[in-house]
Amino acid sequence: MKYSEIVRVYDKLEHTTKKLEKRDILADFYKSVPPNELSLVVKFTLGFEDLGVANEFMKMTIAKSFGVRESDVVKKFKELGDLGKVTEFYSKHKRQTSLLKKELTLEKVYKNIKEFLSMSGKGSVGKKISIISELLSSASPMGAKYITRTLIGDMRIGVAEGIVRDAIAKAFDASVEDVENAYDMLTDYGEVARIAATNKSELKNAKIVLGRPLRVMLAERAKNLKEALDAFEHPCIETKYDGFRTQIHKDGDKVWIFSRRLENVTKQFPDLVELVKKHVKAKRCILEGETVAIDDKGRPLPFQKLSRRIQRKYDIEKMMKEIPIQINLFELIYIDGENYIKKPLRERWAMLKKIIKPLKGKFVLAEHIETKDYKKAEEFYKWSLSVGEEGVMVKNLDAIYRPGKRVGFWLKVKPIMDTLDLVIIGAEWGTGKRANVLGSYVLGIRTPSGFLPIGMMGSGFTDEQLKELTEKLKPLIVEEHGREVVIRSEIVVEVAYEEIQKSPNYESGYALRFPRLVRIRYDRAPNEASVIRDVEELYRIQRGRGKKK
């Protein structure tokens, strides 16, 4: 496929804000694409995550590609606020054009991106620039704009997973529910689109694939323990651990470890891989649990400690010794050819217990009791808090497992005032000693209209955290206005606050009073952040407490 074909679609998408129009544009496009090319086309319409191309690298590449000074690129970026448009400008005004250049194809763009990602080590920067320059110089000015945006992960076409899902359904006359259910199992809309185009009846029967993560089931918040217990006829209560949701796939001696964001973190946890091999009595299975960092006495450590291991790509052996782990298993999804998703939790738990050989302090079943008795449940809740965990999960023993859904089968109970998971959408450079770091951050709450500001956070940081956040956020800067910058919505932070107030100054309608950082949530994707209805509910609860006083 010619790259110019998808560029025309990008341009149409960018020039409408209407979601139904975007859906229709994509649906018409998908129908025109041969089934064997659909998977790649869908990848490009969704955009790529975590390509790791920083703005600074891109500025240098644009300069070298078009024979201009890097300082001029920086100046033009400040003027236009979009590196894609900067590339387009220099592409239009480039000094010479090759008369023999081949027309760029989508496959060529993808090949170069994969080659770019595979390069590392000494001398790789120059080679990476050369690979991207080849694409930029071969593309039309508009094509060069979208190549740049693809690389830095800022497409600006307003297409999220929901629009792609609906477009696939419309293009191939399938139900939205069937498309989403297939995605829950396969976590790849490109593959889902191919199935919809060739045999849409298979969407309903999409099968689990070992080594490919499923979307995890999500919990809802309960006001208190009593409400959670009353919600189910047959509840169980489990400790809610302060760790990272871990999905384990085992196929003989092959083991994969995935985070709740569906990231493959197997390399970061070789110790967990070995524990799975030795302590799971099943040849093929998918398990879930919560991995926590522990100290030398086996006591749980804050998640922030564990996040260093999740992010680490090198010195793994050293990190493994510095930050040992324990996994607390609570779910079985698949075993030896049998899908357990449609079985009730009581059966999933019973089978999980059968196949686990516990190793105290390292590889264990989650603390779990089955009771409807409030006093016993409250004792368990208080105990969970006393050992340094977050609270409890109250689960319905009669319920099935629903990948990717927040359907009320699991209810989390934590002390009020609850924290919020918010996304950093802007920041401001510090002054004085902190002139080289981003010192305060605009927090965004998830709404149907995107992430809207709900507060400015400037406290609760150590110098190390400020430096870490700045390093993570710098490549995500999409606009600069003096000391203020606009950040692409990718980094989730858990935030505590004194209270929630109604506010006419923020688009969300609410403001957090004295927000402060609890931890950076590398295990959370932006689409898992708190939503505006969470704030509305917490505000209502907060007001209710005030009235009782």
Residue that the structure tokens 């709450």 belong to:
445
Residue that the structure tokens 């297409």 belong to:
159
For residues 166 and 5, what is the distance between their CA atoms, to the nearest angstrom?
21
Q: Where are the beta strands (DSSP E) in 403-461?
A: 410-413, 420-429, 438-447, 450-457
Whether 240 is catalytic = yes
- Residues 120 and 92: beta-carbon distance below 8 Å: no
How far is C-alpha 84 from the geometric centre of its chain's CA atoms? 24
Q: Active-site residue among 22, 59, 170, 240? A: 240
For residues 221 and 536, what is the distance between their CA atoms, to the nearest angstrom?
13
Other CB atoms within 10 A of residue 111 CB: 13
For residues 440-474, one letter each, b for 16 or more C-beta atoms within 10 angstroms of the residue's C-beta and e for the rest, the string is bbbbbbbbeeebbbbbbbeeebeeebbebbbebbb
For residues 90 and 220, what is the distance between their CA atoms, to the nearest angstrom?
49
Half-sphere exposure of 544 (CA within 13 A, CB side): 9
The letter for the amino acid at 330 is: F
DSSP 435: T
Please identify every residue annotated as catalytic: 240
